[in-house]
Structure 1
């Protein structure tokens, strides 16, 4: 395995050992210097779960926890689980399954309550929530925001971070303020698939070179991710598992040692409470 002389964390990706690359993707990440992973559960319906109650999400979360245990065995560092309810579920519930927006909201909040149990037990590190990144009705939008704010309340109670899937934007200050109103510090709100110029939550920057160049130039906390989806029908999407280590190597060669330490040691510590140095072999 290559070593880049420091921890290398992919902040957001998915693994599917059943139909995707699974542990092969973990080994691809590790062989080029990757050390730590935050593995987010796939959308529930992608795993064949059409939830009727919050308890139905247990199967989704248990599968992710099992994947994380297996991934940790293959890393110089370790992997952690990020569990929650994909915000796109609301459209599936309302448009395809006949739920009202309020009924969908209640089910999704119940799923988050179950995810919170795993955080409380130490089996998961953080929660995932958000709102649709596409146009929806006002009622669905309001219900989605209520689900997201429920995740903030849970995060505050558990003292854990909340990763968000939202619309693309460079200013999500309002969302950060909603979290703070619920006693969750804005730095513990992480915008997944962020550009390098995001303000409000902590950006988890997609590894496009131009976005990373913006992020390292701002001297603010950020993380790095691929959003690898591990879907055999979409090989390499969104970015392949080798991307974060390769971008780290490139940025180190460009002299951005301090920014890389910020992204892979300091920000993970401040956002998630993890020590990526102490958890290296």
Structure 2
């Protein structure tokens, strides 16, 4: 049972403002006790944008900011936008649209530059970047790492977090070393879709029981997410919007009160400098 004073944050999900459930998914989350969410823009091509330059991402970011404002109206806490470029775009640019890896890198870095403008103005909370979680050739891998490094540079300049989409691993200290080399502390780097054990970035644990139990027992900083993708062709994928509140209730029922506070109060404050308690006004 979630009490009225417990914030419940989904650290990474997507909302489709026009083609699928959108705000109805937010209402499902709130109905189950969810209070806060970090909404990551959908991949640009999912919103009908085939980018050829950084400026082409702007409509994707603007539309995400709009639906985040609508989501906040439905929540007893609030939502924040996380903006950036999905690392899978590089394969679309190179394999389907004929760009060279270096050209794709420039387009994607341009998108990260535009996303950083929204963080600087206060319209977005954090950046999203990463690298493919599947096998690619060396040129694409190097270009992808260069895009990620650009996000770290902006994160350091703006003192904001960077959420990463990357390969599954229990040790990504190489990546946080790169972040620290440009002045972004390791605790500002978040690995989305993480398991319960991770060295380097803060794990944003996909909210399945085994991973959450491991994270709770470890006692290290962690976040919880669904990676809900709000895709009409894949309803409920990856996890449905009700999942994080249900898993919070399950953690509390099993005596993991400290882990819930870790994931929903302490770690969000450390990573993003957001206060999920003072922004919570349950009816």
Shorter-chain TM-score bucket reads over 0.9
| CA–CA distance in structure 2, aligned partners of residues 10 and 4 of structure 1 | 17
Compute the displacement of 1:53 (Å). Answer: 1.1
Q: Which residue of 2 aligns with 1:168?
A: 168
Q: Distance in 1 between matches of 2:274 and 2:217?
A: 25
Corresponding residue for 1:126? 126
8 A contact 1:3–1:32 mirrored in 2: no
3-state SS in 2 of match to 1:7: coil
Query: Displacement, 1:5?
Result: 3.3
The aligned counterpart of 1:225 is: 225
CA RMSD of aligned residues (A): 0.8
Counting matched residue pairs gives 280
4+ runs of 1 displaced by more than 3 Å? 2-5
Shift of 1:199: 1.1
Instruction: Report the counterpart of residue 109 of structure 1 in structure 2.
Output: 109
Instruction: Give 1:17 deviation, angstroms.
Output: 2.8
Alpha-carbon distance in 2 for matches of 1:8, 1:207: 12
Per the normalisation by structure 1, the TM-score is 0.98
Q: 1:189 offset after TM fit, Å? A: 0.2
Contact preservation (8 Å) 2:5, 2:277: no
Q: Distance in 1 between matches of 2:200 and 2:32?
A: 32
Distance in 2 (alpha carbons) for counterparts of 1:222 and 1:247: 14
Query: In 2, are the aligned partners of 1:4 and 1:249 still within 8 Å (CA)?
Result: no
Q: SS of 1:77's equivalent?
A: coil
Contact 1:26 1:74 (8 Å CA) reproduced? yes
Shift of 1:124: 0.2
User: 1:72-120, CA deviations, whole angstroms, 9 ceiling, x for partnerless residues?
Assistant: 0000000000000000000000011111110000110000000000000
Structure 1 gaps, min length 5: none
Question: In 1, Cα distance between the equivalents of 2:5 and 2:183?
Answer: 37
Deviation at 1:3, TM superposition (A): 4.5
Contact kept in structure 1, 2:41 and 2:84, CA below 8 Å: yes
Q: Write out per-residue CA displacement over residues 185-209 of structure 1, whole angstroms, 9 at most, x where no aligned residue.
A: 0010000000001111000000110
Deviations 1:185-235 (A, max 9, x none): 001000000000111100000011000010001010000000000001100
Task: Point out where structure 2 has 5 or more consecutive residues left out of the alignment.
Answer: none
Equivalent pair of 2:9/2:34 in contact (CA under 8 Å): yes
Post-superposition shift, 1:4? 5.3
